[in-house]
Amino acid sequence: MLGYIGKRLLYMIPTLFGMSLISFMIIQLPPGDYLTSMIATMSESGQAVDPAQIQRLKEIYGFDDPFYIQYLKWMWGIVSRGDFGWSFEWNQPVSGLIWNRMGSTLVISLLSLIFVWAVALPIGIYSAVRRGSFGDHVFTFLGFIGLAVPNFILALTLMYVAYRYLGQSVGGLNSPEYAEAPWSLAKLGDFMMHLWIPIIIIGASGTAAMIRILRANLTDELHKPYVITARAKGLPEYKVILKYPVRIALNPFVSAIGWVLPHLVSGVTIIAIVLNLPTAGPLLFRALVSQDMYLAGSFILLLSALTLVGVLLSDLLLALLDPRIRFN
Amino acid sequence: MNANDQITLSPTASNIDGPAISPLKKGATVSTAAIGPWRLIYGKLIRQKVAMLAGAIILFLYFIALFAEFLAPALPATSKPQYTYAPPQGISLFTTKPDGSSEFQLHVKGYKVEIDKIALRRSFVVDENKIIPIGLFVKGPAYKLWGLIPMDRHLIGPYNLNDPMYLLGTDRLGRDVFSRLVYGTRVSMSIGLIGVAVSLVLGVVIGSISGFYGGWVDTAIQRVIEIISAMPTIPLWLGLAAAIPLTWSPVNVYLVITVIVSLLGWTSLAREVRGRFLSLRGEDFVTAAKLDGSSEMRLIFRHILPSLTSHILAVVTLAVPTMIVAETSLSFLGIGLKPPVVSWGVLLQDAQNIRTVATAPWLLIWPSLAVVLAVLSFNFFGDGLRDAADPYDN
Amino acid sequence: MTDLSPDVVLSVENLSIDFTLRTHILHAVQNVNFQLKRGKTLCLVGESGSGKSVTARTLLQIVDKPGRIVDGSILLRNGTKVTDITKLAPTGAAMRAIRGKRIGLIFQEPMSSLSPVHTIGSQIIEAIRLHSDLDKKAARARMVELLSQVEIPDPDTMADRYTFEFSGGMRQRAMIAMALASNPDILIADEPTTALDVTTQAEILDLIKRLQVERGMAMLLITHDMGVVAEVADEVAVMRFGRVVETGAVDKIFHDAEHSYTRQLLASTVKLTSHVKAADSTAALSANAPEPVLSVRNVSKVFGWNNGAKALRAVDNASFDLYPGENLGIVGESGSGKTTLGRLILRITEPTEGKVVYRREPGSEVDVTRLDKHGLRAFHRDARLVFQDPFASLNPRMTVKEVIGDPLIVNGLAKGKALEERVAELMRLVGLDPLGMERYPHAFSGGQRQRICIARALALDPKIIIADEATAALDVSIRSQILDLLLDLRQRLNLSFIFISHDISVVRYFCDRVAVMHKGRIVELGEAEQICTAPKEAYTKSLISAVPNPDPRDKRLMHRHRFVAPAIEPAHV
């Protein structure tokens, strides 16, 4: 088991490397660099440009160096001192801006994942066991709708409905009166009240997809000989199903984290922009629009790394669940 | 089946020489013995009512896309500031003449202005007393069909060019939402199709290279695919799209957005193609063909690809909605397609502000419905296709 | 309905089961009657699709969905009373109390019949505690006792292992232990040994029979193999297309059958216990042409890293000759390397070492292992392969004409009208009606498909045909027809066969000489008659004596040779 974990961790390294390369390519993508445009804007508006400051930035980020040197400098900064670069727009280190935002992104993504599982598991089992029943048809139809409605449209619709019929605006994670307040039970309650809407929106399509996966897998498993064996022992039907086929159909359910999590993180990003949530999304968006590339690239890298951690967790969970993986 | 193992020309229901079967309903059973695979697939597909309906809707959407200029009553960019946020009108069939009798006359109702005393806002409401006659195949604003054929006939429109006819309302600048939706269909649906085509080419080419060379080339490509598909798509799309210079022409932006969208879409296609390819390669009938003396090319094109095409078709259909949603999301955020190009996403940009939506909900409803309808149809149709893709699987 | 005679534990009366399918209703079981008696074994024998498995599962009401009982009753003795199982709700408590407790069940595929994610022990303990009030500790002790009863060594440790850590035979033993967990008085064994090697089959049959006698259980054994029937049955019911065509004591069925189907089934089986004498003996042929057409010399295949710790020698130093007009059998159990050897000769898999010499005409010699792409294609025209699975080896998207014609087209031998005529000729040659030329493979039965495969192999006028388990997927009556077809073709076309099989009776019937493989090595090579009647090597002896003999008056398994593999496994380097 330990060897397995070690192997998985080692496996992550080249993937992380690839992700960082892609992120850096995105940093480099916009024509020209931020420094040049900043100097231009500053001198245009008549502000004094501090040549020493510029020289310092040039040296740190090596704007005159070739691509791979710049990349290595960036990576070295991250690995050696947690320095993700300089946000030119905010005029402070990127590392000072990202962690809060990444924290809330993580919380919302994980809560959405739990939501997806909690809803998809019972419905998936029900749909597979009662295949073709009225309930199955209803869930299948709802599932298709969940898959088909892009989550930002869902968010807009819910916002409209809440605004129009409940007269309140849903957005943010805290009511204004708690926004600046220190954390307390009341604030937590308020936070929870705000949280469920984004979680449902973000989880909707993932839930629908998971229901379909579980339903398909469980339907296959339900006719395997080992189920008949369990039945032939005299086990009650619910035990036959929960203890054997469901247990095995859980495997794809767990390994689906690998793609559900990137999906959820994507969802958090766009929904946060629509609902104005204090997560990575709006800041990333703003950074991209203003071409504050170190900030944007760092977010992309960290969001990718987040999904990678999710994949690792799902691998470990899978190994716990299935002895065939543990032993091979 | 029967013991002397001679060829049976028709399946018999004889009790002695075969398994006992009786038909569900009276009537002859059709033998599928000499029916080709594509006809079997078609037969299987056509039995799925929902998939067929979805297919019809897809065809309908592409029909709209094809004849957008003719189907839209107005040009997408024509704005009439005197009619901002005008609500949708319904089409009525009969007018009442002064003497009280009814007369057939297609028409919509006009608008009147109402002032909200409290909010001090001016807003349009449909005036039941104003009748604006409209007709089919009427003369309207001049356009060039497909940018080539100059025409001025429209499927539907007011007889008097200056009369307002806004079946789905207007936007902030007084532009006809219905016409813009029709034009948006062309852009959004074509991005889905072109994006999938680019993805498929990338996927097939890279997937084949991966499968053909195997070894470290395969490993490297698989790792790249893994990395790309583990990265959350929206941040990546945002990053790529944000790099498009603001000065580029709409056509260039359109092309680049298509490429960006398909850049991330090809991985799942390549994976699917590779997986199926590898499993088919190991099949006995492929080994048999190899021993028959078939060259590598013949093996692929005569024996492997025909078994693969129907599955690829299904996967491709299921990939189109991803492309459509991607374009819509990017344009909605304002870093995809930009006005004056009209797409469903660009239309939804007007619905970003919740107060605007509250005043003019049609700005959210109709483009959203279009997106959902398209995505739903592709999903249902693709699902049906996937179920039918293997005609020999029971 | 309550008067069952005292020794009858279960009586099936007029049972009929229908499956409502999409296109038609399948009457899977029609008016079936039989009785299970205390301490006796009833064998339900029939070919695929005869409805025997469905019948067995119905006794526990575990038939999958579209199947339903339309008529008849299943009467189970319940102390002094009698219960009709068909009247019980399938998921009700009364039915569940019968499953496992009164009737135990063993399946064909022990791998897929046991859960892969639960330990063997926990699955058996579950069965024990379900029908008793033993606590966990007592149940575990009982489970260990059961495992030792089914002769699993070191049961206490093995109980905590998973199915994939068990061998096929061990899994089936565990499955038996589970079926016996609650001391049922009826045991249903559904093809319990079909997925196993012949030596393992002999052991498992032995075990089942012994446990049944010890416990005085009634047993219903379902099988397609008349040999197995002869070894274990007291009574036999022969099923065909959902009906029982004949019932009777085992001796009567084997020596005085009434129904023509029973006799035909028996004849196909018995025929394979003898060796066919070809009209012009191949011994004479090989005497005239002493030079072999194919010589395999010291061929080995190592999978995994060369000489590494985990390297597996799938084929180890194999040498033999194939003479013109000869049928050479390669026989062995699963994992013996026989299929790999066949593929090495054709270089579908590249041999690690050794050489294969092919002589197209006397005097001309080519080393197949050194041929380039072009030379290999020429060799593949002369040496053809027939696969085991006639469903997987035909492209479902090509018509029969395209399948058989493909080798002719790629080798540029025929096209257009000539191609069609040649295909028709080939189809007639293998006993197919050329009218079926435009049809797709799915329209043909298993035996017919195998004929198509043979026609494809013959299309290029080959010298050698390598048949890899070519009859293993077929029912016994079809099997002997295909073998006779191959024998006839050998005569007419002067072919040489390498016939790879796990089935000793098939090899004995078909082959002139036999090579016996065990763990990658050829352990014995000789005349078929000699190998099958007077084997020299210990392994061959155990193999031959494990083959069930289709004659209840001469049960071979009772006094078979047991082979204990040497402590050092020669297959691993």
Q: What is the pLDDT of residues B223-236, one digit of tens each?
A: 888 888 778 888 88
Residues of A in contact with B239 (CB under 8 A): 23, 26, 29, 288, 296-297, 300
Comparing C277 with A144, which gets the higher pLDDT? Answer: A144
Contact: A303, B335; criterion CB under 8 Å: no
Question: Nearest-CA residue of chain A relative to B320?
Answer: A148
The mean per-residue pLDDT over the stretch A312-316 comes to: 84
Contact: C116, A229; criterion CB under 8 Å: no
How many A/C residue pairs have CB atoms within 8 Å? 74
Q: Do C152 and C198 touch, CB atoms closer than 8 A?
A: no
Contact: C117, A234; criterion CB under 8 Å: no
B287 touches chain C (CB under 8 A): yes
The mean per-residue pLDDT over the stretch C238-258 comes to: 89
- CB-closest option in C114, C126, C130 to A226: C114
Cα–Cα distance measured from residue C239 to residue B20, given in angstroms and rounded to the nearest whole number: 13
| Residue C558: pLDDT over 80 | no
The mean per-residue pLDDT over the stretch C67-78 comes to: 88
Question: Nearest-CA residue of chain C relative to B33?
Answer: C443
Measured between CA atoms, how close is C456 to chain B, in angstroms? 9
Measured between CA atoms, how close is A175 to chain B, in angstroms? 18
pLDDT, tens digit (0-9, with 9 covering 90-100), for B289-333:
988 888 888 888 888 888 888 888 888 888 888 888 888 888 888
Contact: B232, A29; criterion CB under 8 Å: no
Q: C44: pLDDT confidence band, cut at 50, 70 and 90?
A: very high
Residues of A in contact with B348 (CB under 8 A): 153, 156
Contact: C113, A223; criterion CB under 8 Å: no
State the best of C381, C398, C450, C475 to mutate against chain B, taking most chain B CBs within 10 Å.
C398
| Residue C572: pLDDT over 60 | no
pTM over 0.95: no
Would residue C514 be called left, alpha or beta, if left means φ above 0 and alpha means ψ between -120 and 50 degrees? Answer: beta
| Residue B15: pLDDT over 50 | no
Residues of A in contact with C114 (CB under 8 A): 226, 229
C-alpha atoms less than 13 angstroms from C-alpha of B155 in its C-beta half-sphere: 10
Q: C563: pLDDT confidence band, cut at 50, 70 and 90?
A: low
Backbone φ, ψ for residue B141 (5° rounding) = -60, 140
B145: closest CA among B69, B73, B78, B77? B69
Contact: A231, C62; criterion CB under 8 Å: yes
For chain B, the structural domain boundaries read 1-34, 84-174, 180-389
Can you spell out the DSSP letters for C258-305?
Answer: -SHHHHHHHHHHHHTTS----SS-HHHHHHH--S-SEEEEEEEEEESS
Comparing C542 with B137, which gets the higher pLDDT? Answer: C542
Q: Can you tell me which residue has the tokens 């890899």?
A: C468
Neighbors of chain C by Cβ distance (3+ pairs < 8 Å)? A, B
User: What does pLDDT average to over chain B?
Assistant: 78
> What pLDDT score does C384 carry?
92
Cα–Cα distance measured from residue C203 to residue C548, given in angstroms and rounded to the nearest whole number: 11
Q: Do C312 and C519 touch, CB atoms closer than 8 A?
A: no
Residues of C in contact with A248 (CB under 8 A): 115-117
| Residue C141: pLDDT over 90 | yes
C161 touches chain A (CB under 8 A): no
| Residue C280: pLDDT over 50 | no
| Residue A34: pLDDT over 80 | no
Question: Nearest-CA residue of chain A relative to B223?
Answer: A15
Question: Nearest-CA residue of chain C relative to A319?
Answer: C117
> What pLDDT score does C178 carry?
92
Comparing B118 with C496, which gets the higher pLDDT? Answer: C496
Contact: A160, B361; criterion CB under 8 Å: yes
State the best of C54, C346, C371, C410 to mutate against chain B, taking most chain B CBs within 10 Å.
C410
> What pLDDT score does A61 carry?
63
- CB-closest option in B19, B291, B294 to C49: B19
Neighbors of chain B by Cβ distance (3+ pairs < 8 Å)? A, C
Give the pair of three-digit tokens for residue A141: 């139809």
C-alpha atoms less than 13 angstroms from C-alpha of B149 in its C-beta half-sphere: 8
The mean per-residue pLDDT over the stretch C247-252 comes to: 90
A320 touches chain C (CB under 8 A): no
The mean per-residue pLDDT over the stretch A233-260 comes to: 85
pLDDT, tens digit (0-9, with 9 covering 90-100), for C499-548:
999 888 888 888 889 999 998 899 999 888 888 888 888 889 888 888 88
> Which of A220-234, B148-162, C453-467 has the weakest average pLDDT?
B148-162
Can you spell out the DSSP letters for C475-518?
Answer: -HHHHHHHHHHHHHHHHHHT-EEEEEES-HHHHHHH-SEEEEEE
Name the percent of chain B lying above pLDDT 90.
Answer: 1
Residues of A in contact with B371 (CB under 8 A): 150, 153
Measured between CA atoms, how close is A31 to chain B, in angstroms? 8
Task: Identify the helix (H) or strand (E) that includes residue B105.
Answer: strand B102-116
How many B/C residue pairs have CB atoms within 8 Å? 124
CA-based torsion, C239, C245, C250, C254: positive or negative: negative
C22 touches chain A (CB under 8 A): no
Measured between CA atoms, how close is B215 to chain C, in angstroms? 15
State the best of A20, A152, A161 to mutate against chain B, taking most chain B CBs within 10 Å.
A152
Q: In this prediction, does ipTM exceed 0.85?
A: no
Is the domain spanning B180-389 CATH 3.40.30.10? The answer is: no
Longest pairwise C-alpha distance within chain B:
94
> What pLDDT score does C507 carry?
87
- Who's near C516: CB < 8 A, 6+ residues apart? C331, C332, C522, C523, C524, C525, C531, C535, C537, C539, C540, C543
- CB-closest option in C380, C393, C451 to B285: C393
Cα distances (Å, whole numbers) of residue C341 to B14, B37, C455: 45, 36, 23
Within 149-188 of A, beta carbons closer than 8 Å to B belong to 149-150, 152-153, 156-157, 159-160, 163-164, 169
pLDDT, tens digit (0-9, with 9 covering 90-100), for B62-76:
998 888 887 778 777
Contact: A300, B368; criterion CB under 8 Å: no
Measured between CA atoms, how close is A260 to chain C, in angstroms? 24
User: What does pLDDT average to over chain C?
Assistant: 86
> What pLDDT score does C500 carry?
93
Question: Nearest-CA residue of chain B relative to A257?
Answer: B230
Give the pair of three-digit tokens for residue C354: 């050794």
Within 230-259 of A, beta carbons closer than 8 Å to B belong to 258-259
| Residue A46: pLDDT over 90 | no
Q: How many CB atoms lie within 10 A of CB A287?
A: 28
Contact: C406, B292; criterion CB under 8 Å: yes
The mean per-residue pLDDT over the stretch B117-139 comes to: 73
Q: Do C28 and C17 touch, CB atoms closer than 8 A?
A: yes
Q: Do C547 and C509 touch, CB atoms closer than 8 A?
A: no
Measured between CA atoms, how close is B280 to chain C, in angstroms? 10
| Residue B31: pLDDT over 80 | no
- CB-closest option in C27, C389, C397 to B306: C397
Contact: A156, B368; criterion CB under 8 Å: yes
Residues of C in contact with B29 (CB under 8 A): 23-24
B323: closest CA among B222, B237, B243, B221? B237
> What pLDDT score does C128 carry?
92
| Residue C236: pLDDT over 90 | yes
Contact: B239, A29; criterion CB under 8 Å: yes
The mean per-residue pLDDT over the stretch B353-382 comes to: 85
Measured between CA atoms, how close is C26 to chain B, in angstroms? 4
| Residue C108: pLDDT over 90 | no
Name the percent of chain A lying above pLDDT 90.
Answer: 2
Name the percent of chain A lying above pLDDT 70.
Answer: 87
> What pLDDT score does C568 carry?
43
Cα distances (Å, whole numbers) of residue C524 to C407, C513, C534, C560: 36, 11, 12, 19
| Cα–chain center distance at C184 | 29
- CB-closest option in A31, A148, A159 to B372: A148
Contact: B285, C384; criterion CB under 8 Å: no
- CB-closest option in A285, A291, A307 to B230: A307
Contact: C380, B1; criterion CB under 8 Å: no
The mean per-residue pLDDT over the stretch C395-407 comes to: 89
B12 touches chain C (CB under 8 A): no
> What pLDDT score does A178 carry?
67
Q: Do A327 and C123 touch, CB atoms closer than 8 A?
A: no
- Who's near A129: CB < 8 A, 6+ residues apart? A218, A222, A241
Residues of A in contact with B376 (CB under 8 A): 144-145, 148
> What pLDDT score does B235 carry?
82
